[in-house]
Amino acid sequence: MAQDTEAGALKQWAPVVGLTLSAFIFNTSEFIPIGLLTDIARDFQITESQAGTIITVYAWIVTVLSLPLMLLASKIEFKKLLLGILALFVISHFLSAIAPSFITLMLSRAGVAFSHSIFWSIASPLAVRIAPRGKAATALSLVVTGTAVAMIAGLPLGRMVGLYMGWRATFFSIGVVALCVAVFLLFVFPRVPASSQGSAVAKLPAILKNRALIGVYVLTALIFTANFTAYSYIEPFMAQMAHMPEGEITFSLTLFGVAGIIASVFFSRGFENHPKFFFATGTFGLAIFLTLMQGAAAHIWTSMLLCVFWGITFTIFGLVFQSVVIRLEPQATPIAMSIYSGIANVGIGSGALVGGWVFAWPALPYIGYVGAAFALTGGIICFAMIQDFLKH
């Protein structure tokens, strides 16, 4: 009897596990070019700043498609939709692995971005709908865990594969893992009927008139631009400015991801009692640590320590303001979060573009200062509007 109960529980949780694995591979794929930028540039005989455009184009495609695809996704049965976007994801990665030119690589990444836009439009609602009864919050946290593990393990592992077998092997490996996840989901994922988003569409005008929410979106664009101005080029920065060996760069990227777990613990324990501290940490704190990039590059260990604090502050920003979005729009959270995701990708793409300009100047030593200027502006806006954020 106990074995039957255990087997039943595993069967109930299997679809959630599949969704978590999907979150892991989607986020690993999104950021993997950051860890392989130098190798990609060398292979195609272009500069790192030119190679960085694949990060910008990817992010801006997600920006443009997130909201409309969130609204359209409800018209398709969700299992069919999920398997379809995984098929596109797999094919696009195999194309990346054999790309004969940088343009082909860019097109393949556009395919990944398209599937990414749909996946993150349906991931949270799906997690809630397929979760065992009374376990919706746990299911959502598992999907978030898949995202966190991508930063902790996915990006460093992908970089290691790239270092030893070439960057093309990394993209091929992600495609193979995604194919295995798709086969798993084919057998364990239930049919989930489409649901109407009409009520959410009706709330869109009200959302766009919410002053505090618009403030969150502006702030999100600035902070993500600040972070990804520097983070998009962290690999060449560590190599050229901190003179880090390849292994230490990979370890630094791992530390950045692990810092996200530390940040989530701090957030869960202290945000309700000390919200202003967390607002300041996620904005002004990020500005401080980006400002310290050049000085920290004087030694490998100080650069690694900087990655820890940098990772903590940026993760805290995401946790704080996703929480604020939910509080500001409790009745239309899916559409508000979809817009938030799109705005975040505006920042990712803009940051990669600005960082590319700094890199091409050439002014790589000062890339942290440029990012810090955006973060400082964001901090000023945050504290000018803090009462709007807190009154809800």
pLDDT at 281: 95
pLDDT score of 228: 94
> Which of 166, 181, 196 is a domain's end point?
196
Residue 282 DSSP label: I
Residues 270 and 179 in one domain: no
Side chain identity at residue 291, one-letter code: T
Instruction: Give the whole-angstrom CA distance, residue 143 versus residue 20.
Output: 5
Which of residues 196, 229, 256 is at a domain's end? 196
pLDDT of residue 300: 93
Residues 70, 132 within the same domain: yes
pLDDT value of residue 270 = 85
Give the C-alpha separation, 87 to 185, whole Å: 12
160 and 217, same structural domain? no
Nearest by Cα to 313 from 351, 269, 267, 345: 267
Instruction: Kindly state whether residues 38 and 130 are assigned to the same domain.
Output: yes
pLDDT tens per residue, the chain (392 residues)? 444 455 555 778 899 899 989 989 998 998 899 889 889 999 999 998 899 999 999 999 988 887 787 777 667 888 999 999 999 999 999 999 999 999 999 999 999 999 998 888 777 778 878 888 877 767 766 776 677 677 777 888 888 898 889 999 999 999 999 999 999 999 999 988 876 555 556 667 777 788 899 999 999 999 999 999 999 899 899 999 999 998 899 899 888 888 887 887 788 788 888 999 999 999 999 999 999 999 999 999 999 999 999 999 998 898 888 778 878 877 766 677 778 888 888 898 899 899 999 988 888 999 999 999 999 999 999 999 998 888 75
* Cβ–Cβ under 8 Å, residues 111 and 95: yes
Task: Give the relative orientation of helices 333-360 and 211-231 as an angle to the nearest 10 degrees.
Answer: 30
CA atoms of 231 and 367, how far apart (whole Å): 9
DSSP 284-311: IIHHHHHHTHHHHTTSHHHHHHHHHHHH
* Residue 298, CB-side half-sphere exposure with 13 Å CA sphere: 3
Domain edge (last residue) among 151, 167, 196: 196
Structure tokens at 214: 């618009």
* CB 159, CB 253: distance < 8 Å: yes
Same domain, 146 and 272: no
Alpha carbon distance 34, 155 (integer Å): 9
Distance CA 76, CA 58 (A): 24
**pLDDT value at position 201?**
63
Cβ–Cβ < 8 Å for 7, 134: no
In the numeric block, which tokens belong to residue 157?
């592992």
Per-residue confidence (pLDDT) for residue 73, from 0 to 100: 66
Same domain, 45 and 64: yes
The CA angle 131-134-137, to the nearest 5 degrees, is: 65
- Terminal C-alpha separation, the chain: 48
Query: What does the pLDDT read at residue 381?
Result: 95
192 with 202, same domain: the answer is no
Sign of the C-alpha dihedral, residues 334, 337, 343, 348? negative
Q: Are 375 and 287 in contact (CB under 8 A)?
A: yes
Contact assessment for residue 69 and residue 120, using Cβ atoms and an 8 Å cutoff: no
Same domain, 191 and 238: no
- Does the N-terminal peptide bond of residue 362 adopt cis geometry, omega within 30 degrees of 0? yes
Closest C-alpha among 81, 59, 60 to residue 70 = 81
Domain identity same for 383 and 331: yes
Q: How many whole angstroms separate alpha carbon 170 and alpha carbon 261? A: 25
Task: Report the C-alpha gap between 318 and 322 in whole angstroms.
Answer: 6
HEC assignment per residue over 148-199: HHHHHHHHHHHHHHHHHHCHHHHHHHHHHHHHHHHHHHHHHCCCCCCCCCHH
Domain at 89, CATH number:
1.20.1250.20
- The Cα 93–Cα 221 span in angstroms is 28
Same-domain check for residues 231 and 185: no
Q: Which domain holds residue 42?
A: 1-196
Asked whether residue 154 falls in the same domain as residue 247, the answer is no
- For the chain, what is the domain count? 2
Same domain, 147 and 231: no
